[in-house]
């Protein structure tokens, strides 16, 4: 749960405005502590952040709250709208075709062209994510050779690592640690999530695939990150190992496709399951990370 000051820092909405909206529209109503202080849920924080993005783009608050009251979905912010031009669709298809046939130079040229056409956040969600999904599908359907899959994955990984290490960061923030759990070798989704947070100014410590739990635990004790993000794409989640992190101050976020393959146990307050991907998962992780440092950390996050 998030107090009103932390919510204000995460959403960009002042405490005065939050109170005013609560009184005026009676939508997104916070709970109250025993002492009468307002506290907001994660879903409420994300919805408020979405509202503020839309208002900054010119939408009228009255209409947005009326839509919410009537059960209508809010539109996506302009910065995240994903209607792709024919040129972008054609280029990403060309990348897949050229690299599948080992025409590396022309495939990379198409990728370079795409990088000049759309912002990095849209490149992550609509090009890299799409390519990795297509590679996985075609490989599982035996339409793509193992060699082609390895080549494409290696090229995309190198591009993502370059993006992860080229953005400016806010060094006053505690870091975020990303790792594929022990036994997990699929790192594309986790690497893209780290890139999303890096683009927002976070110091992302990316530890890669198949990291032994004991090693990760020692890194976390040393770095004291705001949050750890563990990925399980194919490997089954080892909840006993995950629960070892419950005695640390850091928040722990667990995600990946294999979480849907079995029951999720009751978890302590600092361990969270993330089922979203891309910028939506980044929004959730960013909010959860603020829980590690309270108001002071939230202020750093808004810097």
- The model's pLDDT over 16-62, given as tens digits with 9 standing for 90+, comes to 889 988 888 888 888 888 888 888 888 888 888 888 888 887 888 88
Determine the average pLDDT of the residues in 222-250. Answer: 90
Residues 8 and 38 in one domain: yes
With respect to residue 287, please indicate whether it lies within any of the assigned structural domains: yes
- The model's pLDDT over 114-138, given as tens digits with 9 standing for 90+, comes to 988 888 888 998 899 999 999 989 9
CA distance 191 to 265: 26
Determine the average pLDDT of the residues in 64-74. Answer: 82
Determine the average pLDDT of the residues in 272-297. Answer: 76
With respect to residue 276, please indicate whether it lies within any of the assigned structural domains: yes
Q: Which two tokens stand for residue 32?
A: 């109250």
pLDDT for 35 equals: 86
Determine the average pLDDT of the residues in 209-216. Answer: 92
Residues 43 and 102 in one domain: no
Domain of 48 in residue numbering reads as: 2-71
The CATH number covering residue 181 comes to 3.40.50.280
Give the model's confidence band at 227: pLDDT under 50 very low, under 70 low, under 90 confident, else very high: very high
* pLDDT over 80 (residue 170): no
The CATH number covering residue 141 comes to 1.10.1240.10
As a whole number, the mean pLDDT across the chain is 86
With respect to residue 291, please indicate whether it lies within any of the assigned structural domains: yes
Residues 6+ apart with CB under 8 A from 82: 76, 122, 125, 126
Residues 108 and 213 in one domain: no
- Total-model pTM: 0.80
Q: For residue 253, how far is the Cα from the chain centroid?
A: 10
For residue 154, which of 194, 205, 191, 206 has the smallest C-alpha distance? 191
For residue 230, which of 248, 247, 249, 251 has the smallest C-alpha distance? 251
**Pairing relationship of beta strands 227-231 and 251-255 according to DSSP bridges:** parallel
Residues 92 and 144 in one domain: yes
Number of other residues whose CB lies within 10 A of the CB of residue 112:
11
- The last residue of one of the domains, among 164, 187, 221, is 164
With respect to residue 77, please indicate whether it lies within any of the assigned structural domains: no
pLDDT for 294 equals: 37
CA distance 28 to 267: 26
* pLDDT over 70 (residue 177): yes
Residues 25 and 67 in one domain: yes
* pLDDT over 60 (residue 167): yes
* pLDDT over 70 (residue 80): no
* pLDDT over 50 (residue 300): no
Q: Which two tokens stand for residue 42?
A: 């994660």
- The last residue of one of the domains, among 107, 138, 164, is 164
């Amino acid at each position: 749960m998030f107090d009103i000051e932390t919510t204000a820092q995460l959403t960009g909405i002042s405490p005065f405005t939050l109170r005013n909206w609560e009184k005026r529209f009676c939508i997104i109503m916070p709970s109250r502590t025993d002492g009468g202080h307002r506290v907001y849920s994660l879903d409420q924080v994300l919805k408020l952040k979405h509202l503020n993005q839309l208002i900054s783009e010119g939408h009228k608050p009255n209409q947005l709250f009326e839509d919410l009251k009537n059960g209508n979905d809010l539109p996506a912010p302009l910065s995240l709208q994903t209607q792709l031009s024919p040129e972008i669709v054609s280029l990403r298809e060309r990348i897949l075709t050229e690299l599948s046939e080992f025409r590396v130079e022309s495939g990379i040229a198409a990728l370079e062209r795409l990088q000049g056409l759309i912002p990095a956040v849209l490149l992550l969600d609509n090009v890299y994510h799409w390519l990795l999904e297509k590679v996985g599908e075609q490989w599982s359907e035996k339409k793509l050779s193992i060699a082609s899959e390895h080549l494409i994955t290696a090229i995309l990984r190198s591009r993502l690592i370059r993006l992860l290490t080229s953005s400016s960061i806010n060094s006053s923030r505690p870091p975020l640690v990303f790792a594929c759990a022990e036994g997990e070798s699929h790192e594309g989704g986790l690497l893209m999530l780290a890139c999303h947070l890096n683009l927002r100014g976070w110091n992302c410590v990316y530890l890669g695939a198949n990291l032994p739990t004991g090693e990760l635990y020692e890194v976390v004790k040393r770095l004291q990150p705001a949050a750890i993000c563990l990925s399980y794409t194919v490997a089954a989640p080892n909840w006993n190992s995950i629960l070892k992190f419950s005695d640390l101050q850091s928040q722990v976020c667990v995600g990946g496709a294999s979480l849907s393959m079995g029951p999720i146990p009751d978890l302590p307050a600092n361990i969270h399951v993330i089922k979203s991907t891309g910028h939506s998962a980044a929004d959730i992780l960013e909010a959860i990370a603020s829980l590690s440092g309270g108001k002071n950390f939230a202020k750093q996050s808004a810097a």
